[in-house]
Homo-oligomer: A and B are copies of this chain.
Amino acid sequence: MFYYLNVIGTMAFAVSASLTAMNKKLDPFGVFVIAFATSVGGGTLRDVLIGYTPVGWMRDLNVVYFIIAGFALAVIFRKKLDKLRVSLFLFDTIGLGVFTLIGIERGIATGLHPVICVALGTMTACFGGVIRDILCNEIPVIFRKEIYATLCIVGGIIFFTIRNNFDINQDLLYILVSAIIIVLRLLAVRYKWYLAPLDRY
């Protein structure tokens, strides 16, 4: 089931990144690269930093095909997708929760410290968007407005707190913490939680 959630998240990232890139007037190749980099960028950076190479999407071609599908859907339905904003937001949020746990899992499998694992989870979920914004020549949105990444960190802390104190089934724990991150994100957007910039003067 987790694998299917991963697929949903990957496609949602590809679709929403394609829309961003089309709004920026990029050509189809540019749109595809942005979609690809946003979907797998976080996980790719993670794999490179821990030395898990060739990186993930080179080993599981399904990832590539799902991104191509997400890109194609976004291009074909580009004039109608604004009506699906709510669904897209939901899928994107599922991606956020699932990607965080995938990053944490990869960190544990590599034998890294929990602090690093939480960082890897956050990176997996958020850095695709950072790469997208850099390629589109903007200051990354997650550094300015949203508490997106903070929720991944909170989720990661909850994960290790539960894991170290309770005897819980691994799969159940992944689903549970993903769900917590997803709910927190929905609450955050609903109630406009954000981190205020720090005034210097």
Contact = CB atoms under 8 A, between A and B. Distances in A.
Chain multiplicity (copies): 3
A23 B197 CA distance: 9
Interface string A127-171: 000100011111110111101011000000000000000000000
Interface stretch (A51-59, A86-94, A176-184): A51-59
Contacts of A75: 198
A121 to B, nearest CB: 14
Contact of A200 (B78, B110, B136, B145): B78
Contacts of A58: 49-50, 112-113, 116
B78 A30 contact: no
A80 to B, nearest CB: 10
Which residue, A33, A58, A134, A195, has most C-beta atoms of chain B within 10 A?
A58
Contacts of A50: 53-55, 58
Interface in A6-52: 19, 21-31, 33-34, 44, 48-51
B61 A25 contact: no
Interface residues of A, number: 55
A186 interface: no
A2 interface: no
8 contacts: A19-B200, A22-B197, A23-B200, A30-B142, A50-B54, A50-B55, A51-B51, A54-B110
Given A27-B147, A33-B149, A78-B198, 13 more contacts: A19-B200, A25-B197, A26-B144, A29-B143, A30-B142, A34-B143, A48-B49, A49-B58, A54-B110, A61-B115, A79-B201, A135-B143, A137-B137
